[in-house]
Amino acid sequence: MAGILDFQRRYGDEAACLAKLVEMRWPDGFQCPHCGASGFYQLHDRGRVLQCRKCRRQTSITAGTVFHRTRTPLPVWFFAAYMMARDHRGIPAMMLAKEFDLRYETAWLICHKLRHALTENQGHPLEGLVEADETYYGGRGSGAAGGRSTNDGKTAVIVLAVEKKSTWTKPKRKTGVKGQGFTAGGVRVSVVPSAAQEDLHPFIIGAVAKDSSLITDGWGGYAGVGSANPGHPVKHHPLVQGKGENAIKHMPISHILFSDIKTWLNGTFHGVSRKHLPRYIREWTYRFNRRGGHDLMPDFVLGRAVRKTTITYDQLVGGAKVAGSL
């Protein structure tokens, strides 16, 4: 896909977007869910509905997807998916509202529904040498638990695990982050209730493949994680770091990624609430892990939206949890 003009030419009207959704939902050709027949026609007065030629039963193209029952033209959704996929800044709801003359609440809902669709394949955990750390968003935690509490209702704990990929090219020559011979591979990020063992351990076990080597700092929340699940052993190497500059020295990749996440959240969205933070983290992670497939990213995002059941406005504002969160 060459760029935004090409994208707009291809998906600039409702019919083109519907044809794309049909292709994504039924890649092997439409089959009636009621009788299994393949013949169908599209209703002229209800373009989002297919009718089976054999049994005459009707099937909604958008049912069971993020686009279900939307009254917003599909080209708007496709543009939002394109910007979310191709621009590392994503697309703030205010920009989408201005570009398409939408109510802010409508634009906000579109963006969050698309984020809701983005998930990582839990069947492909991080492997090899993995660096893990946690940080705070929304301010340092309260005094409880050594400043690691989130009881103030605003502070969130973000935990991150990233593969350390070797960049050694010649003997005695190091490249990569901070000249240490490593760069970032795959990454998993999640918002967790606290930095305690009961929250950090499940994240590590779910994100890191067994028998991998895990590097963390000396925080007690990681203590015992290597043997926490006997069926999923991890070779844990805690580093007692002391001062903050030592943390950056020994675990540079996670600190750079945390800085990138916070800069993105504060720069593009001017900060986000703890309630909605998991979906923003989901967007950042999805885009980062597919940074090598830039041209295919819009189709990736649309494909996820087609396969994900929608979430309602009331569920979003009510703080519904992100199912299958990272």
- Number of residues written out for the chain: 326
Average pLDDT over residues 82-103: 94
Residue in this structure with the two tokens 């885009």, named with its chain if needed: 287
Quote the pLDDT of residue 214: 97
Stretch among 25-34, 133-142, 165-174, 182-191 having the lowest mean pLDDT: 165-174
Residue 44 has pLDDT above 80, yes or no: yes
Average pLDDT over residues 256-280: 95
d(CA 52, CA 35): 9
Neighbours of 176 (CB within 10 A): 18
> Confidence band (pLDDT; 50, 70, 90) for 265?
very high
Tell me whether strands 182-192 and 58-60 are parallel, antiparallel or unpaired: unpaired
Q: Which residues pair with 130 in a beta bridge?
A: 163, 214
Quote the pLDDT of residue 119: 78
Amino acid letter for position 134: E
d(CA 153, CA 322): 18
Quote the pLDDT of residue 124: 86
Average pLDDT over residues 47-73: 96
The domain ranges of the chain are: 129-275
Quote the pLDDT of residue 167: 78
Tens of pLDDT, residues 283-318: 999 999 998 877 889 999 999 999 999 999 999 988
Residue 26 has pLDDT above 90, yes or no: yes
E-assigned strands of the chain?
Answer: 40-42, 49-52, 58-60, 129-137, 156-166, 182-192, 213-217, 235-239
- Domain 129-275 falls in which CATH fold? Nucleotidyltransferase; domain 5 (3.30.420)
DSSP summary character for residue 208: B
Q: Which helix (H) or strand (E) holds 72?
A: none
Tens of pLDDT, residues 119-175: 777 778 999 999 999 999 986 555 554 555 566 668 999 999 999 998 765 555 556
Neighbours of 190 (CB within 10 A): 24
E-assigned strands of 62-196?
Answer: 129-137, 156-166, 182-192
